[in-house]
Amino acid sequence: MDINFDIQNEVENYDVLVAGGGLAGFAAALSAARNGAKTILIEKEGYLGGQGVIGAVVLHNFFNVFDATPGAPRLRVAKGIAQELLDRVQLQGGAIEDIRVEKFGDHTSIISIVEPEITKAVLNEMLLEAGVKLLLHSVIIQVKTANNKVKGAFVWNKAGFTFIAAKQYIDCTGDGDLAAYAGASFKHFKANEPGAYPAGFTFRLCNIDLAKMEDDLEKKGLIIILGHAVKPGGSKPELVRLKFNIRKLGFKKAYFFYAASLCPNELTYCNCINYGPNDGLDPEELTDAEVYMRNTLLEIVDFFRAKIDGCQGCYAAGVSPYVGQRRTRAIHCEYELSKDDCLEGRKFEDQIGCFSFIDISKLYVKNSGAFDIPYRAILPIEIENLLVAGRTISPDNIAFAATRNTVCSMITGQAAGTAASIAIAEGCSPRDIDVKKLQEILVNNDVLLKPIREPKADLN
């Protein structure tokens, strides 16, 4: 639908426009700029990182799930911008890398954790260093298209309406907004339909004696996932990863409680409250989710105080500014990863990276290997100057359980940004670039196209 706007500003001098500043959008904008493209990133919130900083601060996953296959080697499947981000955050005391999971390792085996506020600052720092133009507090509300090409985006912020044009566009909104507005074909996952996901809601839980809490839960036989590591500034291993059965403890509105702890005396990330499966494109359902989950949060705090030793004086902080909608649209692309592609660990000639983690218990890549992500999987089928990255790239439910994760989102984001820069340089559509050249640049920028062993692999 065409809408007439009173345009206060018009900008037409960008090579690449990235919509959405989550981890996929961060990687896309950073790689486009570093490869010579004049890049603008548009984000609706006042910070970068999206669900990677207000949701799952556990970065999934740089390694294969080797515990799922007896005798399988530990393999690294991801580096590139994702690893660079982790390294930068760790240097500022905001990350713990390569944590060996002690229980339920056949689901993750190795994890890394980042602290949200430090990560937000590092994301800003890296993009500004690369010369990316950041436009926060800004929403893309419509796009202009002609001849199967995006001509520009209508953006609203406190300055009014602005029309921003670029040569290439990358949709990293998570909901596929730019692609949908441009007329790209997509699948919409409505409430309670197959493939729909519930909305989530995360928070910190502070003023906890973590040792007492762990001991209490262990004695009650409730712990499912457990991990210990030395925290930033610490001197000995402490609790850093936890999952327990909260329903068996008596809380009936959730089945499991997931947490990560990066800071002393707190669970830095807590995840147990869900609503749905709901339609994340329906504002009334999103409103209902917000009301329900914020009320439930207060019940969770009271429950912990009453039922778990070490939590008698706990309180909630760092609450998500909005609910996290896991799935809304999937953009139809030239190739769509399937369940079998992932489980069989299939290879593709046009691969842009590899990945191993599937966030569904008891589903693993064959022999704890990895599957390739083809370049075609980030190319929408109709629009010539558009790429997509992050959690919108595959309608298949099992593939989505892999590609929606933070590290994989940065893999597809980095590839999209690099491909857009090549298209700019060659004056062609992203679908017409030389994929071998794309792969060469990605490898030169530390992207892994196949798993590798590391010297320290045998030490864990």
User: Both tokens of residue 118?
Assistant: 């430090």
Nearest to 181 by CA among 275, 42, 49: 42
What is the model's pLDDT at position 460? 43
Q: Is the pLDDT of residue 58 over 80?
A: yes
Query: How far is residue 328's CA from residue 339's CA, in Å, rounded to a whole number?
Result: 19
User: Both tokens of residue 54?
Assistant: 């207000």
Domain coordinates of the chain in residue numbers? 7-98+114-189+329-459, 199-325
- pLDDT band per the 50, 70, 90 thresholds, residue 456: low
What is the model's pLDDT at position 57? 79
Query: In CATH, which superfamily holds the domain spanning 7-98+114-189+329-459?
Result: FAD/NAD(P)-binding domain (3.50.50.60)
Q: Is the pLDDT of residue 303 over 60?
A: yes
- pLDDT band per the 50, 70, 90 thresholds, residue 458: very low
Q: Please, are residues 267 and 208 in contact by the beta-carbon 8 Å criterion? A: yes
Task: Say whether pTM exceeds 0.85.
Answer: yes
* Mean pLDDT, range 59-83, rounded to an integer: 96
Query: How far is residue 348's CA from residue 371's CA, in Å, rounded to a whole number?
Result: 9
What is the model's pLDDT at position 105? 87
What is the model's pLDDT at position 459? 41
